[in-house]
Amino acid sequence: MQAILALEDGRIFRGLGYGHPSECLGEVVFNTSLTGYQEIATDPSYAGQIVVLTNPQIGNYGTNQADNESAKPYIEGLIVREFSPISSNWRSEQVTDEYMERYSVPVLAEIDTRALVRHLRTFGVMRGIISTSETDTDVLVQKARSIRKMDGTDLARVVSTKSVYTFDAADSRNQAGDPYLADGFVKNEEARGRLLHVVAYDFGIKLNILRMLTREGCRVTVVPAETSADDVLGLKPDGIFLSNGPGDPEPVDYAVRAIRQFLGRVPVFGICLGHQLTGLALGGKTYKLKFGHHGGNHPVRNNVTGKVEITAHNHNFAVDPDSINANEVELTHVDLNDQTLEGLRHKTLPLFSVQYHPEAAPGPHDSHYLFRDFRRMMEEWKS
């Protein structure tokens, strides 16, 4: 099956189509992770985006239910160099081609992904379309240009849960077992009777974030993105978690207003979009990166300890460090690749956030301490 990628600037790539035979439109970004294509596909933060993977062979270890970060893939489409027709892994339950077809995700393969990534790095992320039916490239380019830009788009309310639900500590064990309960984490058995209640805003939350919170002895109530501060405080939380999510943080003004009402009243921890929203709530500004951060190999320096963490990223927007009031807020983490602000902590109030994903494991456990810090902050606030 032939397939075409057309970018809004007129650049065309031709290859073979896999997965679901259809058209998909979105912002084209690239991810430099070597593994984890299923986690990437099911990360709600990728809503509205077509993802290019730089690792040359994708699909070779198949897919399985345990590796999902949400109930379904959220990527609009997938672009790879070589798409494996078979899977070779003891954990595989379904070959990747069938998995993508099952969830209606088009896949474009057999193109020069190096040339595509260099193009995006040079000119920045841009809108694009993958099609297995239309062959007129002029028509495809016009369709790409008609796509709504990510700037100014609120996608958090689109991917968020529509109702409140709880994530119990018993749900933290996946089908492959839980290797992280042994050292450095609160065992579920020990946590019974002293669970801390965390209310987590779902702006596009990943399943492993919920697992990490429960491993720290938390009972998690997940609420929709537009839940008011009064409704959340009415749940009597010991702490509030602000999740990752897609799109531009500035249109998510309802969340910014809620965060401002939480300041000084309950401990707050934010990740990714939650970090950007925290920055806005503290009076800062956000901006769009040229081609974003997407991958599992970003070195981030902890300015407090001086240690460098190898971290996973997935964001197109960032907080402007010059817009943050240095008298009130400490800038705790910085990306060593481009000096992007990666973390902040309020100097007097129980609030901190990071731009990267500490629930991921590229380090492999470099950043897991942040969940322990959140638990300690909640315990100290209660006492």
Sequence-distant (6+) residues with CB within 8 A of 120 are 28, 29, 30, 52, 126, 291
Q: Which residue did the predictor score with more confidence, 220 or 181?
A: 220
CA–CA dist 10, 24 (Å, integer): 17
Per-residue pLDDT at 21:
87
Residue 197 amino acid letter:
H
Q: Which of 272, 293, 298, 333 is catalytic?
A: 272
Other CB atoms within 10 Å distance of the CB of residue 383:
5
Give the contacts of 250 (CB within 8 A, at least 6 positions apart): 152, 280, 286
**CATH 3.50.30.20 residue spans of the chain:** 2-145
* % of the chain surpassing 90 pLDDT: 90
Q: What is the mean pLDDT of residues 357-364?
A: 89
Q: In the chain, which residues fall in CATH 3.40.50.880?
A: 156-382
Quote the distance between the C-alpha of residue 334 and its chain's center. Answer: 18
**pLDDT recorded at residue 362:** 86
Secondary structure, 3-state, the chain: CEEEEEECCCCEEEEEEEECCCCEEEEEEEECCCCCHHHHHCCHHHCCEEEEECCCEECCCCECHHHCCCCCCCCCEEECCEECCCCCCCCCCECHHHHHHHCCCEEEECCCHHHHHHHHHHHCCEEEEEECCCCCHHHHHHHHHCCCCCCCCCCHHHHCCCCCEEECHHHHCCCCCCCCCCCCCCCHHHHCCCCEEEEEEECCCCHHHHHHHHHCCEEEEEEECCCCHHHHHCCCCCEEEECCCCCCCCCCHHHHHHHHHHCCCCCEEEECHHHHHHHHHCCCCEEEEEEEEEEEEEEEEECCCCCEEEEEEEEEEEECHHHCCCCCEEEEEEECCCCCEEEEEECCCCEEEECCECCCCCCCCCCCHHHHHHHHHHHHHHC
**Number of neighbours of residue 54 by Cβ within 10 angstroms:** 18
Q: Looking at residue 193, what is its pLDDT?
A: 52
For the segment 158-175, the average pLDDT, to the nearest whole number, is 75
Active-site position among 293, 333, 357, 368: 357
What CATH class is the domain 156-382?
Answer: alpha beta
Please, which residues bridge with residue 18 across strands? 107
The answer, yes or no, to whether residue 103 has pLDDT greater than 60, is yes
**Residue 170, pLDDT score:** 57
Determine whether 272 is an active site residue: yes
Q: What are the beta bridge partners of residue 17?
A: 108
Are 213 and 198 in contact by the 8 Å Cβ rule? The answer is yes
Topology (CATH level 3) of domain 2-145? Glucose Oxidase; domain 1 (3.50.30)
Q: What pLDDT digit, counting tens, does each position of 274-308 carry? A: 999 999 999 999 999 999 999 999 999 999 999 99
Whether residue 175 has pLDDT greater than 50: no
How does residue 178 score in pLDDT terms, banded at 50, 70 and 90?
very low
Tell me the per-residue pLDDT of 114-144, one tens digit each, with 9 for 90 and over.
Answer: 999 999 999 999 999 999 999 999 999 999 9
- Residues 36-64: tens digit of each pLDDT: 999 999 999 999 999 999 999 999 999 99
Residues of the chain with pLDDT > 70, as a percent, come to 93
Does the pLDDT value for residue 189 go beyond 70?
no
Specify the pLDDT at position 183.
35
